[in-house]
Amino acid sequence: MKQLFLCALLLPALCLSQDFLDEDYLYLKRHEYIKVDMNKKTFTLEKNVYESAKYQTAKKMYFANESIYYDSFSVIEDIEAYTYHPETDKTTKVDYIETKRAFDNGIFYSDQESKNFIFPAVRKGAITNLRYNEIIKDPHFMGLFRFGTFVPTKEAKLTVEFPKHVTVGYIEFNTESITVDLKKTTKGKKNIYTWSINDIAGFQAEDDTEDPLHYLPHIIVYIKSYEHKGKTYNVLNDVNDLYKWYTTLVERIDSKNLNKVYKIAESLTKDLSTKHDKAEAIFNWVQDNITYVAFEDGLGGFIPRGAASVCEKRYGDCKDMANLLFEMLNHVDIEAYRTWIGTRNRPYSYYEVPTPMVDNHMIAAAVIEKDTIFLDATDRYVPYGMPSGFTQTKEALIGIDANNFKIVKVPLQEPNTSVTKVNSAIRLENGSIKVDEQRLLSGYEKVNMVSDYTYKKADKTEEEFLNTTLTLGNNKTKYSNIKKTHFDNSRTPLELSYTLHIDNYSKTIGKKTFINLNIDKTLSKSKIDNINSRKYSKKIDYKFEKKYTTSFTVPDGYKVNAIPKDFAFEHPNYSFQINYTQDGATIIQHKTIKINTLSIQKSEFESWNTFIKSLIKAYKKSIIIEQIS
Amino acid sequence: MIKQITLLALLVVTSITFAQHYKTYDWESQPRLHELSEAEKKSSSVRILQYHIVEYATAASNGKLKIFETTHNITRVNDDKGIDRHNTVYIPMYGVNNVVDIKARTLNSEGKITELNKDNIKEVKNVETYGDFKIFAIEGVEKGSEIEVLYTVEKTYDRHGSQTIQSDFPIRKAEFLFITGKLNENIKAYRTINQFETTSVNGKNAKVLKLNAVPAMIKEEYATPNANKIEVVYQCFPKEQNITQDMFWNNVVTNVGSQLFPEKYPEIVKTDVTAIVKDLNAPTRFQIVNLVDDYIKTNFTVIKNNNPDLSNLEYILTNRTASEFGILKVYAHYLKALEIEYEVVLTANRFQFKFDPDFFNPNALRDFLIYIPQEKKYIAPGQIEYRLGEAPFNILGNYGVFISKNLEYYFSKIIQNDKNYSRTMRSSNISFGKDLEYVTLEQHHEYTGFWSVTNRAVLNLSTEQALKQFEDYLTGSGIEDKVILSYETKNTEMLQQTYNLPFIVNCKLQSEALLEDAGDSYIFQIGKVIGTQSELYQETDRLNPIEMTYPNQYDYTLTINIPEGYEAEGLESINIKKNYIAVNGTEIAKFESKYEQNGNQIIITIQEFYKTHEFDLHRYEEFRTVINAASDFNKAAILIKPKG
């Protein structure tokens, strides 16, 4: 029964071969054995890792390159690795291991290192074996175990051995469709929990989907508490303990020499009367003046650097900016708090996962007239009042004081907060068309445009950037009179205007000329491919709305021959309406497109594709004008 | 007493005379903001000053040679992108014995100076394959700030060195000062018409190259921008040595060659080659060498790390793991065991370095090939996707030094042997569904040469996610609502024992979007059938010479079956012809599309080719016209209207 259930859900991969015979490379075994020991009130944690993998072809020989990553919270010991050739019964050992660092685009300096080696003599049929110990220095960082990875696994097993006076918590993710076997046994003074699963298919990434943590089956195991001399001591029993631990880190923030910081806060707000205006001024200042540079160095990866230092250096990471905002806002009497949060990449809740795995980000939260405003200055262009897009819907852990916190959900931003309004006036001139267009972008629509304009423009000219970003008309569209105002992080919409000159766009045959008013065919490439084999939902970054008003001036000597009929697609999560009206010599098209969801579930794929297909169909309709003879 | 003073004075003078220049070189005690021109204001960042000093010196203590390298930059940052580009500094420690000094400061638009706290300089050991680094983030940067960085490192003596002068941002003033005193030196600047001036620094012979207004090297298409930056390459060696370029080349040929033309080979090599060829029946030389290449690429792994054993043949044959140089030994021994004649080629990736036979630069000798003269074909040991054939396209057009068995060498440009190596042939049979609701396309594609090499590599080495994107690409990327009814690929294995066997795709597609309604007629977007063609823009002056990925040719036949009761109009937009005629009168690039009508069939033939991959920069506009003709065709549409 178990097999059948598995088969139905993982049909495409498993039907090919239950034994993964078609796979180039697979894990025969992936075992982790975590040993928790206590000496009085101190934990020692050791993780024994064992991996065995088989090369069924010579195509994926790059898997022979092995890297074991670790940071200053753990130590890697006793690496033993070798390649085994079943056909000759010969073994070749790894005899060279190198410790390396890497530069990361997102983190400027990190204490993460890796042990690197290559499995020798890997070829078709080879089996590699790896065993090592990881000493975990801090009981808060037990990490997670993946039952499934991107490579198929014949046998995955996690064992945790811990003293009976210790309580261990665990929570599984994405295991709804598979059966993980859990055995609880005891050995002397120890409890032993073992989770195991066999024949789990490889997970393949898909386009536009959530972070792999949303679909890879995995488990988080953590230490809840222990008993000592009849008393119970909590480690990470629930979010209260996580917060308690966070406050011990917050206590270590350097909060000296804040005079300069206070002076800036004062000068920014001295002429402003409302708290909102003051908070906005401070938020914008931090966005504008503190550049994101991240250092992850031991607990320095968790403790914000002092506001005075961040302000002086003019750079910092998320927690540094959050703490600076906290200091500046409170100084001008705005109630503000340091706030922990997991971005949309983390599929966890504070109520379920009371470990540092739950979050990966820090922001500030201000409370003004009972409104909670989430302030994420790492997003350089997000307007005051809106949370950063990647924190929407997520739980924020707002640190009130040493003993109190609040968990508040970051509100989902509705489509009417991220709007693109497009006004276009099209006219026909000597066979080509000219368009005067103005775009007003607000919310995340603005954030994305300003950010792309600033960073992706790269070496391109503005014209080439706009042409390849907006893809209006055809690939010969020429831009002139490009103007942009409110190109910043303010709440005022970004205004972008230009004149387009598009050759070969309208088509004249005989006396009739065909002109398609949909010069912007937004979303036409958004069909979800392979909907039968695709497994995971499509991720949408934010809800938005696009509103077009397009007018076409019928040239002298022409009459209107045909106007497309109105078109619409209605669905609560995605919809569009297009209608045409004629007013004398002017044809006006109104078009509204609304996306009202952050995710398209598998069950909705068909409906979404119908939406896109209807939109494409509507985009195909041209107006026809005819020369009056 | 007097005597002593004189001596002291003399000593002082001597030490001043021979003092290294970096000791007296410093930044301005009071920095000031520089005025920017209108053009400079528009750039995300501008380097106001970029000064490099390379000084070869003899240590007083032991007479050993060493190098002092000083770098001094002043950079104005105008926007967020400019800040992000310059606010982190990475100083490579490769070859560095001693960091003499590192300092940095920021001058903001209000004149406030923030100096770098040296405690914030971090050391990062053994980064990937690049060695150690000192890194730091610049403090106090805002929009409109000027960032100034000045550091000097002492390096172990190296005969050879190079410095890239151009960057991806504009440089107002760049100087390269090369101080060698009485040592022998050679220095050459690339891609600038400016000349070195001879000068003297602290009484030492020196040369200086001064450049003004160095433009940003931009990433243009059909170009090798990284290899085209202004660069200085130099050599410096003791006075008593008088080394010519020939001697350098001879030396490297002897060094490399002596290891790669073995007289004998170990037993295991014999066992391997016997096993490799055992199933071949009357094999050709091509088939044998091709199998050897495939065997090595599927049984050995090439890796970059610091393990010295990776170039030791015995270790390599046991562990089946080698460095980029070590793997050449494997080829050499296998080929020797099979009595196959070969040459070893030292060359460079043309996207990174332009190989210069006239000036020895070991830095640029990073790629190795093995040439089989009797086959006129190459093995690319470091590139897993290639099997015996033409030289990889990233080498094509660069020079290489070819070393033969007797350790004789010659320079040659690496060119394609078969001019028609890379082709794409495509035939599409296009028909319309009931009531012209949709279009059906039945396609047959054949890819040869580099096209097939790349296609096979993607199919064999990619993840499933990439394979899905690849399927979309192979079935025509321009049709947004495309439904793939069937799809198959043939001849997909990387090992093909028939030389240049085409990679084949057969597919059947359906689309509604290709047909637009126009009253009782339909506009058929025939242009989109060939896939999205990008337009080649050029709004600024072209910097880079034109270099395509490789010469290639497309031959398409599109057969449109007009449904009964309908006829086609507006076929003129299909006829396009643009070409590029070389000085010798041959047509070396062309795009031509034309149609003929045969009953209810319209047959469109398209031919596009580029016979060479290098085109004259001065004739960029003509080249662009040919490239853009394909995107002109993208817009071709015909009207299908009821008869009568």
Q: What is the 3-state secondary structure (H, E, C) of A265-315?
A: HHHHHCCCCCHHHHHHHHHHHHHHHCEECCEECHHHHCCCCCHHHHHHHCE
Cβ of B515 under 8 Å from any chain A Cβ?
yes
Cβ of A206 under 8 Å from any chain B Cβ?
yes
Cβ of A61 under 8 Å from any chain B Cβ?
yes
Is A242-412's fold the same as A416-627's?
A: no
pLDDT class for B542, splitting at 50, 70, 90?
confident
Which candidate, B226, B241, B163, places its Cα nearest to that of B196? B163
Say if the Cβ atoms of B139 and A312 lie within 8 Å: yes
Beta-carbon count within 10 A of A483 CB: 11
Residue B166 with chain A: CB contacts under 8 Å: none
Q: Which of A152-156, B57-61, B325-329 has the lowest mean pLDDT?
A: B57-61
CA distance A301 to chain B (A): 15
Cβ of A452 under 8 Å from any chain B Cβ?
no
pLDDT recorded at residue B9: 42
Question: What's the rounded Cα separation, in Å, for the pair B208 and B164?
Answer: 15
Q: Do A197 and A210 contact (CB within 8 A), yes or no?
A: no
SS3 category, A332: coil
pLDDT class for A13, splitting at 50, 70, 90?
very low
Question: What's the rounded Cα separation, in Å, for the pair A407 and A250?
Answer: 18
Q: Do B490 and B402 contact (CB within 8 A), yes or no?
A: no
Q: Which of A15-19, A158-162, B280-284 has the lowest mean pLDDT?
A: A15-19
Say if residue B637's pLDDT is above 90.
Answer: no
Beta-carbon count within 10 A of B16 CB: 12
Same domain for B220 and B270? Answer: no
Say if the Cβ atoms of A100 and B634 lie within 8 Å: no
Considering CB atoms only, which of A293, A463, A474 is closest to B539?
A463
Mean pLDDT of B44-59: 96
Cα-based distances in Å from B487 to A391, B450, B472, B505 = 41, 22, 10, 7
Cβ of B586 under 8 Å from any chain A Cβ?
no
Using the 3D structure, point to which of B413, B432, B452 is the last residue of a domain: B413
Which candidate, A548, A534, A546, places its Cα nearest to that of A574? A546
B418 occurs within a structural domain: no
Contacts A–B by Cβ distance under 8 A: 192
Same domain for B67 and B98? Answer: yes
Determine the residue type at A38: M
Task: Count Cα neighbours of B414 within 13 Å in the Cβ-side half-sphere.
Answer: 35
Residue A502 neighbours by CB under 8 Å, 6+ apart: A432, A433, A434, A435, A472, A473, A474, A476, A477, A478, A519
Say if residue A458's pLDDT is above 70.
Answer: no
Same domain for B275 and B207? Answer: no
| Mutation to test the A interface, candidates B122, B226, B271, B298, most A Cβ within 10 Å | B298
Domain ranges of chain A: 2-234, 242-412, 416-627
Quick: pLDDT tens for A381-437.
999 999 999 999 999 999 999 999 999 999 999 999 999 999 999 999 988 999 999
List B residues 83-112 in contact with A (Cβ-Cβ < 8 A). 83-84, 87-88, 90
Same domain for B353 and B482? Answer: no
CA distance A371 to chain B (A): 31
Quick: pLDDT tens for B126-138.
998 889 999 999 9
What is the greatest pairwise CA distance in chain B? 122
pLDDT class for B500, splitting at 50, 70, 90?
very high
Beta-carbon count within 10 A of B451 CB: 20
Say if the Cβ atoms of B523 and A103 lie within 8 Å: no
pLDDT recorded at residue A300: 82
Which candidate, B392, B396, B394, places its Cα nearest to that of B381? B392
pLDDT class for A334, splitting at 50, 70, 90?
very high
Q: How many domains does chain B have?
A: 3
CATH number for the domain harbouring residue B259: 3.10.620.30
Q: What is the ipTM of this complex?
A: 0.90
Say if residue A30's pLDDT is above 90.
Answer: yes
Same domain for B289 and B195? Answer: no
| Mutation to test the B interface, candidates A69, A90, A109, most B Cβ within 10 Å | A109
B483: β partners: B510
Cβ of A610 under 8 Å from any chain B Cβ?
no
Question: What's the rounded Cα separation, in Å, for the pair A255 and A273?
Answer: 27
Say if residue B3's pLDDT is above 70.
Answer: no
SS3 category, A544: strand
Beta-carbon count within 10 A of B410 CB: 11
Enclosing domain of residue B485: 423-642
Q: Do A395 and A412 contact (CB within 8 A), yes or no?
A: no
Q: For the domain A242-412, what is the CATH code?
A: 3.10.620.30
pLDDT recorded at residue B626: 94
Say if the Cβ atoms of A504 and B632 lie within 8 Å: yes
pLDDT recorded at residue B126: 93
What is the DSSP annotation of B586-602? -EEEEEEEEEEEETTEE
Kindly state the helix (H) or strand (E) to which residue B291 belongs, with its residue range: helix B285-299
Please state, rounded to an integer, the average pLDDT across all residues of chain A: 92
Cβ of A260 under 8 Å from any chain B Cβ?
no
Residue B477 with chain A: CB contacts under 8 Å: none
pLDDT recorded at residue A89: 96
Considering CB atoms only, which of A61, A205, A620 is closest to B301?
A61
Say if the Cβ atoms of B540 and A461 lie within 8 Å: yes
DSSP one-letter code for A499: E
CATH number for the domain harbouring residue B565: 2.60.120.1130
Mean pLDDT of B353-378: 95
**In terms of CATH architecture, what is A2-234?**
Sandwich (2.60)
Quote the percentage of chain A above a pLDDT of 70. 97
Q: Which of A103-112, A327-336, B68-77 has the lowest mean pLDDT?
A: A103-112
Query: For the CA atoms of chain B, what is the radius of gyration?
Result: 31
pLDDT recorded at residue B448: 97
Residue B305 with chain A: CB contacts under 8 Å: 96, 98, 116, 118
Same domain for B157 and B228? Answer: yes
SS3 category, A188: coil
pLDDT recorded at residue B15: 41
pLDDT recorded at residue B635: 83
pLDDT recorded at residue A228: 92
A507-509 and A558-562 beta bridge pairing: unpaired
Same domain for B346 and B224? Answer: no
A558-562 sheet: strands from edge to edge = A507-509, A512-515, A623-627, A558-562
Kindly state the helix (H) or strand (E) to which residue A321 belongs, with its residue range: helix A318-331
| Residue with tokens 């982790």, as numbered in its chain | A32
Q: At what angle do helices B267-277 and B326-337 cross, to 10 degrees?
A: 70
Same domain for B387 and B430? Answer: no
Say if the Cβ atoms of A206 and B465 lie within 8 Å: yes
Length of chain B: 644
Using the 3D structure, point to which of B186, B219, B237 is the last residue of a domain: B237
List B residues 467-486 in contact with A (Cβ-Cβ < 8 A). 468-469, 472, 480-481
CATH number for the domain harbouring residue B32: 2.60.40.3140
Q: Which CATH class is domain A416-627?
A: mainly beta
pLDDT recorded at residue B280: 85
Which candidate, A447, A446, A469, places its Cα nearest to that of A457? A469
Say if the Cβ atoms of A315 and B139 lie within 8 Å: yes
B340 occurs within a structural domain: yes
For B490, the token pair is 């043939």
Same domain for B402 and B506? Answer: no
Cβ of A397 under 8 Å from any chain B Cβ?
no
| Mutation to test the B interface, candidates A620, A622, A625, A626, most B Cβ within 10 Å | A620
Residue A514 with chain B: CB contacts under 8 Å: 516, 518, 523
More confident residue, A387 or A471: A387
pLDDT recorded at residue A457: 62
Cα-based distances in Å from B147 to A530, A618, A623, B89, B136 = 51, 53, 57, 11, 13
Say if the Cβ atoms of B306 and A120 lie within 8 Å: no
Residue A525 with chain B: CB contacts under 8 Å: 480
Cβ of B127 under 8 Å from any chain A Cβ?
yes
Say if the Cβ atoms of B465 and A516 lie within 8 Å: no
pLDDT class for B165, splitting at 50, 70, 90?
very high
